[in-house]
Amino acid sequence: MTLFLLPYLLGTLLLVVIPALATLALAFTDYNFIRPPVWDGLDNFRTLWASPLVRLSLRNSFLFLALAVPLRLLGALFLALLLQAKRRPFGLFRAAVYLPTVIPEAAYALLWLWLFNPLYGPVNLILAWLGLPTPAWLAEPGTAVLAIVIMSFFQLGEGFVVLLAGLQNIPHALYEAARVDGASAWQSFWRITLPLLLPWLLLLTFRDLIMSLQNTFTPTFIMTYGGPYYATTFIPLLIYEIAFDIFDFGLAAAVLVVTYILLGLIALGLFNLSGLNADEITF
Amino acid sequence: MRLHSKVKWGARTLAGALLAGLFLLPLYWIMTASLRPAGLPPARTVEWLPPSPTLANYPAIFEMLPMARYLRNSLIVVAAAVPVTAVIASWAGFALAQFPDRPRRRWLGLSVATLMIPGASVWIFRFQILRWLGLIDSLGALIVPAFAAGSPLFVLLFYWTFRRVPPGLYEAARLDGASAFTTWWQVARPLARPTTIAVIVLSFVLYWSDFISPVLYLYRPALYTLPIGLQILKQLDPTGWPLLMAAATIMTLPVIGLFILLQRTFLGDNSLAELLDRN
């Protein structure tokens, strides 16, 4: 049996695990890919601490996450609750909600570049028609992050599907019993649905903290290249520039390490806050 | 009571329809905007259908850029990477489903942990590994993630499927003298058809959409894939929206086609949830 697992293990080791661990080590070296890495201790961390661009990019990234992750998860939860019914048109509705998630990133970025065009993009044309203010979206530092959050919201399919599966896993008998006891729909949501979905929600939060940040790379690369005035320079784009434009692999690795330590702390805090223990999250 | 329930379902269906419409809008706009004649001044009010729709933007982008070559490169990558992904993920899921409890838990935990490894953290050193393997600046750099099953998620999907097969079936095949490979091919694989199809679609999307790998690992324009083509077109003509949307449509249509064929597996009434059923 082990033989069947072997190709996957070797592939993952070589392409994912070893590169991730090596990056961790490279953070403590001076490495520009022509000369072999030289150990230089915490030098990279001092450089990044002194760099206003790194600090700005960290701030942008965590602002993005603070807006995008709750919005995407609550959206996915709301849509899963609304559309879980096993009735005729609901299967189609679910498919429609998932559809934007499969649109290839590059195509999706071009689409939103047009939708958010300040003068003749459909978003502003609709806002103008409703008599609402029409911001310059990607052309203005204040709204550019918001625009990226909005476009990431429409690709919430993964969380949506996982939560649908989680909802179907809740034994129906629990709801029956609650109804017999005279519980309202609202009460059974808070007392049954939410506690039983909590492990799923927590896992999705962790994944979304990492993935929605990672997924900013393509839109920011194609749409704004980090602008205007660095407002959409999130960590993945910054790392790309440090690593593949100025070839300072050590510094890029250090930025990554700092980012994921901060994300890890957030995840740990959320985990403690949820009151779950690790055994309750099983597969 | 019955009237109340009818009103409730009516409201629910209406809300569902409105939200479904909202999520379909992006796709609708990609397609309709691609039909707008290229020289027309931009509309100043919301336009649900372009005036005098035309397909002329499609041949136009093939003349502006070597789109046919980009398309061919993308197809080569997908044709090589998708089958490899499906086989490797299926094997790994098959093995995991038959492992004894403790090692299985450990490997599953590791798979979930790798789900959390962000792409950016492997860019730098993967570049180095691909260089050692001689794959930098070749389509192989875009295909090689298939050997890590594309995503641990695909392995987990197969594992969840194979775990639901009564162990007696594998046992019986083994007693009949079937090798492990024959058991996988003749017993396990046919039972996992919906999962196999789901993994084929999801991994197609993964490789077809991959923008980062060609940006990081390809230099020769002759090797560029469709996502890079879109980026070049945008640099060439940053406000030629009908042309840009035509290119975006070419990238999106195959994915949507596959998705519509298979949406039942994901989102039908007995979909993924059945796989995840813990019994």
Q: Which residues, numbered 188 to 227 in chain B, qualify as contacts with chain A under a Cβ-Cβ cut-off of 8 Å?
A: 205, 208-209, 211-212, 215-216, 226-227
Is residue B201 scored above 60 in pLDDT?
Answer: yes
Contact list, A164 vs chain B (CB under 8 Å) = 267, 271-273
Say yes or no: B88 contacts chain A, CB-CB below 8 A. yes
Q: What is the pLDDT of residues B163-189, one digit of tens each?
A: 888 777 887 887 887 788 888 888 888
Contact list, B120 vs chain A (CB under 8 Å) = 214, 217, 235-236, 239-240, 256
Of B212, B208, B191, the C-alpha closest to B200 is B208
Say yes or no: B35 contacts chain A, CB-CB below 8 A. no
Contact list, A89 vs chain B (CB under 8 Å) = 13, 16-17
Is residue B47 scored above 80 in pLDDT?
Answer: no
pLDDT of residue B91: 93
Q: ipTM beyond 0.85? A: yes
pLDDT of residue B253: 93
Contact list, B112 vs chain A (CB under 8 Å) = 283
E strands in chain A: 29-30, 38-39
Contact list, B29 vs chain A (CB under 8 Å) = 111, 114-115, 122
Q: Residue range B218-244: average pLDDT?
A: 92
Q: Which CATH fold topology does B58-276 show?
A: MetI-like fold (1.10.3720)
pLDDT of residue B276: 47
| Architecture (CATH level 2) of domain A22-42+62-235+257-280 | Orthogonal Bundle (1.10)
Is residue B249 scored above 90 in pLDDT?
Answer: yes
**Searching chain A, which residue's CA lies closest to the CA of residue B128?**
A33
pLDDT of residue A279: 62
Distances from the Cα of B187 to the Cαs of A1, B12, B84, B114, in angstroms? 15, 43, 20, 29
Q: Residue range B96-100: average pLDDT?
A: 87
Contact list, B108 vs chain A (CB under 8 Å) = 283
Q: Using the beta-carbon criterion (under 8 Å), do B15 and A82 form an inter-chain contact?
A: yes
pLDDT of residue B268: 57
Q: Using the beta-carbon criterion (under 8 Å), do B33 and A114 form an inter-chain contact?
A: yes
Say yes or no: A17 contacts chain B, CB-CB below 8 A. yes
Q: Using CB atoms within 10 A of its CB, is residue B3 exposed (0-12), middle (13-18) or buried (19+)?
A: exposed
Q: Rounded to two decimals, what is the model's pTM?
A: 0.89
Domain spans, chain B: 58-276
Q: Which residues, numbered 240 to 259 in chain A, qualify as contacts with chain B under a Cβ-Cβ cut-off of 8 Å?
A: 240, 243-244, 249, 252-253, 256
Please give, rounded to a whole number of angstroms, the shortest distance from the CA of A50 to a CA of chain B. Answer: 22
Is residue B210 scored above 70 in pLDDT?
Answer: yes
Please give, rounded to a whole number of angstroms, the shortest distance from the CA of A93 to a CA of chain B. Answer: 5
Percent pLDDT > 90 in chain B is 39
pLDDT of residue B278: 39
Best residue of A16, A57, A172, A258 to probe chain B, by most B CBs closer than 10 Å: A16
To which residue do tokens 């090798």 refer? B179
Greatest Cα-to-Cα distance within chain B, rounded to the nearest angstrom:
74
Closest to B148 (Cβ–Cβ): which among A5, A16, A207? A16
Lowest mean pLDDT among B20-24, B41-45, B107-111, B220-224: B41-45
- pLDDT category at B266 given cuts 50, 70, 90 is low
Closest to A5 (Cβ–Cβ): which among B13, B92, B184? B92
Contact list, B19 vs chain A (CB under 8 Å) = 79, 82-83, 93, 97
pLDDT of residue A236: 92
Please give, rounded to a whole number of angstroms, the shortest distance from the CA of A142 to a CA of chain B. Answer: 23
Q: How far apart are CA A224 and CA A187, in angstroms?
A: 46
Give the mean pLDDT of chain A. Answer: 88
pLDDT of residue B1: 52
Give the mean pLDDT of chain B. Answer: 86
Contact list, A156 vs chain B (CB under 8 Å) = none
Distances from the Cα of B234 to the Cαs of A100, A110, A147, in angstroms? 21, 8, 19
Closest to B91 (Cβ–Cβ): which among A4, A112, A249? A4
**Searching chain A, which residue's CA lies closest to the CA of residue B269?**
A86
Q: What angle do CA A86, B267, A97 make, to 5 degrees?
A: 100
- pLDDT category at B83 given cuts 50, 70, 90 is very high
Q: How far apart are CA A164 and CA B268, in angstroms?
A: 11
Low-confidence ranges of chain A (pLDDT < 70): 278-283
Give the residue with greater pLDDT, B52 vs A54.
A54
3-class DSSP state of B183: helix
**Searching chain B, which residue's CA lies closest to the CA of residue A76?**
B19
pLDDT of residue B277: 45
Is residue B144 scored above 50 in pLDDT?
Answer: yes
pLDDT of residue B272: 53
Domain spans, chain A: 22-42+62-235+257-280
Say yes or no: A111 contacts chain B, CB-CB below 8 A. yes
Indicate the helix (H) or strand (E) that contains B212: helix B212-217
Q: Is the dihedral of CA B204, B209, B215, B218 positive or negative?
A: positive
Is residue B279 scored above 50 in pLDDT?
Answer: no
Encoding tokens for residue A146?
């918001």
